[in-house]
Amino acid sequence: MKTLLIDKEIKYEGWQLSPHWIYKNFKIQGDAIVAFIGECDVNLSEMVDIEDVINNEPIYSKKMLSFITEQFNIGLVEGVFRQRLLIAIIKELLEKYGVKVKRDGDDLYVEDKKLTVSIATKSLTSVLIHTGINIDSEGAPVKACGLKNDLGINDVKLFAAEIMKKYSEEIDDIILASTKVRGV
């Protein structure tokens, strides 16, 4: 799996969670994960999570670390497993930084404050995942916390690179592991 830390700020508005967005914008073809920093403002019209739409819960963060991954030749259930793997990797890394984190499905919380948003969906050609981690929780529509202002993680780019490296290695290792066994 290929990785890219995008240097420019990008405002995540939901429409970026679309097939070949990574390929069209960053010339990375195939399974990939990219990370970028910027405001997150997803209106209900761009929401993929039907439950959030029904509950009238748009997403907003003044500053968020976003990951988008596109993976081919897998189904949605496997995509959700991979989404949960990404969340577990983020949780593990936060714990290495000394942060006590609780995982509830695909969400991470510090105390009772929400740290992440995440969704997995299926396009005609791939599975797409967006996971966002608040950097600055000010102005969030729910009780939230952020990497910098609440958790003291100041080198967000290094944090993002560590997550992508571990995720890429795990996915590649899972695929490799599936090739070393004989069928029974």
**Percent of the chain residues past pLDDT 70, beyond the cut:** 100
Mean pLDDT of the chain: 96
| Structural domain of 92 | 2-169
Distance, in Å, from the CA atom of 163 to the CA atom of 77, rounded to the nearest integer, reads 22
- Residue 181 belongs to some domain of the structure: no
Predicted confidence at residue 93, as pLDDT, reads 98
- Residue 180 belongs to some domain of the structure: no
- Residue 127 belongs to some domain of the structure: yes
- Residue 175 belongs to some domain of the structure: no
Beta bridge partners of 149: none
CATH classification of the domain holding 98? 3.30.930.10
- Residue 84 belongs to some domain of the structure: yes
- Residue 179 belongs to some domain of the structure: no
AA identity, residue 18: S
Predicted confidence at residue 147, as pLDDT, reads 97
- Residue 48 belongs to some domain of the structure: yes
Looking at the structure of the chain, the number of domains it has is 1
What are 39's two structure tokens?
Answer: 């405001």
0.85 surpassed by pTM: yes
Distance, in Å, from the CA atom of 131 to the CA atom of 160, rounded to the nearest integer, reads 11
pLDDT digits (tens, 9 = 90+) for 47-99: 898 888 888 888 999 999 999 999 999 999 999 999 999 999 999 999 999 99
